[in-house]
Every structure is written in C-alpha cells, then in structure tokens.
Chains A and B, each alone.
Chain A
C-alpha cells in the first residue's frame, strides 16, 4: 500500500518533469543557432554518411562522447577542410585514459576572413570602409567510461562562441551519450545539447543583445558487421524541425583490414527543407596512424562541384 503510494507519487513527478521538458523544447521560438557539428567532425565519419557514434578516436568527442571510452591509452585527432576557397573548418581533439575513465579536450572552428564592412557614397553606391574576420568555434571537454563490459557512458560540455568583428556571441550546453556493444551489432545514442532552453547570446557592441536557440538533437545510430568485410551503418537524428536519416556501407578487404572504403548517404537541412547527398571516402591505418579522406558533391554551385575533407588520428 505504502510502496504503491510512493510509486504513484514518483510516477506523477517523473511524468510531470518529462512533460515540462517536452513543453520547454517545443515552445522554443526563433532561429536555431547554426551548429558547426552539422558539417561533420572527421573525414572518416563523413565518408560514412556522417553516421555518428562509431569514431573511436579523440575526435569522437564531437559526436557521441561515450565513444571515447573505447580509447585504450591516448588519442589525437585532427580534421580540416576549406569550402568554396573561403570557409575553413578545423578541429583538434586530445583524449587520454586515466584511472577514472577517459577524459578529452577539443577545439573546433570555422573561419571566414576579410568580410567587408560597407558604406554608401553620395551617388548611392556602396564601398568598403573596413574588413573583419568571422570565427565560430566550440571548446569541448568530455568524459567517458565503461558502465558494464559492453555499455559505455559519456558526457561532454561545450562552450560555443562567435566573433563578427565587434559583435561577440557565447553560449554553453552539454551532451550525454551511451553505447551498447554486441559481437556483430553496436548501438549508439546521445542527446546533443541536452539542456533544452539554452541560447547563444549575441552582444551587438552597442549595449543590445540578441539570441539564437541552441538546438537539441536526439541521435540514434547502429552498426552491423555483416561479415569481416562488410559493415552497415544507419542513423536517425531528431531535431525540432523533424527527422533526418543517414546510412552507409563500409568495405574492408579480408587481406588488408587496415583499409576501409566507405560510401554513405546523409540528409541535412537547407533552410527548412531536407536535402540529401552521397558521401564517399577511404581510411588507411599504418603504424597506428589513421588517415582519412571524404568526398561530397556540391549541388548547383557554378564554380565548385565538390567538398573534400581530410582527417588524421593517432591512437596510442
């Protein structure tokens, strides 16, 4: 009788908190902050349709933080690309195993330099008065460890920032994730930006502030080793707009398992519409160093027809 009453109270409180959380997520208005992680955080992951959660290097902290737990000693990851000869993306991640689990630190950034500040002359035509450099970045700290031999848990804290010359923006949030491993099947689930009412605050340099919402995402993915040569990946990402799907096939020759050839498909938002595209790539591991390349087609640009991504990681 007493336990039923206690359970009844607990159930009501749990449901109440969950309902409040759902309402908080659903009533968030305004433009969503543009997430740097939408591009992808490593060439290896991008080549697999950007299916996240199966990057077992330090760069994995930009995906499911629980994946860091798979690092045995230490890891370094580096990712770089430049789009349209203008937007430079880079990230660097470091992680090491301690007696208390794996800890990691990472920094990701995109930058565009020489953006014009303009004015109007007496004829109504425009000219450049000065320039500024744009920078958007994430500082991340992560922790992960095994809960059970086949279950890992991870959490990461992110500090977001933007610089538009004299306009500065900052915000913070955190991710939590879990992985589950069986001999042939692995599952990954994480919540990106777990706190649903978090925003980036833009200081406009004139005493005013404006805000953009940091979007919360639920990312669930799976990996199935069909054979020693073929592995299939799939992912569902849920954001307040809707659902995005991704999938990939990886081939690794039996005679040379250090070589992985990947082909994938990923969906992404362009404004409020969902678009999709093919990704291709290759990873090669030699002497503990994994070098990866990924290719993705650009649609509709009159000058550029592809994006090319590179990453290097070392697991010690």
Chain B
C-alpha cells in the first residue's frame, strides 16, 4: 500500500545537494530561496541558504512482505539484482509426470523472466514473474514447478534441457536439468 509523506530538508552553508533517491520514490521537489522565488538558485554565491521541500510517495515504505524493511531509510533497493544461490532443479533427473521444482533466491524483489530451451537451443517455455510476486520475491527462496502443464500438456522426450533466468535485461543465472521417461 502506498503512503504519502512530506519531508522538508533544510540545508545551509552553501550546499544544495539533495539526497540520492530513485525516481520511483519522489513525485516532485521544490527549491526555495529567500527573496529569489521558486526554482532558482544563485549558484555563484556559496553562502546562500536554501530550503528544499520534497513531496514523496513511498511505495514500499516499511513493508516487511516486500523485503526492504531492513533498509534504514526505507528507500527502494536499486542495486543490480543477482541470485544469492545457484539456481537448481530438484529432483534431478526427474520424470515430467512426477514433476520437479526450480529453486532460486533473488537478492531483492525484481521482475524475472525464465526461459527453457531444448538441447538444440529451441525455446520451449518462457514466463515472466513480477517483482514482489510469485517468482520475483527477494530474500526468499522462490520455487517454480516444472511439469507437463507448463509445456501445454506436452510430454518432453528424455534428454537435457537448459533454463535461463533474466532480470532487468541481463542474464543473472542459468542451469540445466534432465528429463527421463516415467
């Protein structure tokens, strides 16, 4: 749930740098300078004081379920997403009728795309998972089922298959699994 908060930051002594925040957290900011008006600063006079009024929309503030409550300032983590464990399928090898599970742990909530390829590099599965939802949850061991239903009911021939996990336009992990007949 999003909450609206207002933060007023006062700076003096010639510094006018604002806190480093990401674009998702702030709606707008206004720089106020005595006798100057909104939106202008005298950058050549380093002794000027100024006021910065920030209107903030916090999308993930102090939400334990979304995994960023440990950050001291409550801001969204924008560091590059990575896998904190090697992505693995269990059990492996397995029969498609029994099924298996792909498990992986993300460093933070992130949009994730998973593709599966056969041994001739043909894509046989592709699915996107949203950040904070099933498959895209950070600091949690995500588990995704691999069974006949994800391939449209098709029974894969025995062999080796390869999966690739991508996020934010880059590959963050990959692996392989073996399918045997029932």
Contacts and interface: CB of A to CB of B under 8 A. Distances in A.
A118 B180 contact: no
A87 B118 CA distance: 10
Nearest to A134: B160
B34 interface: no
Chain A's interface size range is 35 or more
A271 B90 contact: no
Contacts of B141: 123-125
Nearest to A31: B155
Contacts of A119: 90
B60 interface: no
B73 to A, nearest CB: 30
Contacts of A202: 158, 180-181
Contact of A87 (B91, B92, B160, B181): B160
A84 B160 contact: no
A162 interface: yes
Given A116-B88, A126-B103, A136-B159, A210 B117 contact: no
Contacts of A275: 122
A307 B170 CA distance: 21
A211 B123 CA distance: 25
Contact of A126 (B88, B160, B164, B170): B88
Interface stretch (A91-99, A245-253, A293-301): A293-301
A24 interface: no
Interface string B147-176: 000011011111110101010001100111
A249 B105 CA distance: 50
A303 B163 CA distance: 12
Contacts of A117: 92-93
Interface stretch (A33-41, A57-65, A149-157): A33-41
A83 B120 contact: yes
A34 B159 CA distance: 8
Contact of B157 (A34, A123, A128): A34
Contacts of B162: 84, 86
Given A210-B181, A211-B181, A304-B121, A128 B154 contact: no
Interface of B: 85-86, 88-93, 95, 101, 103, 105, 115, 117-124, 126, 141, 143, 151-152, 154-160, 162, 164, 166, 170-171, 174-178, 180-182
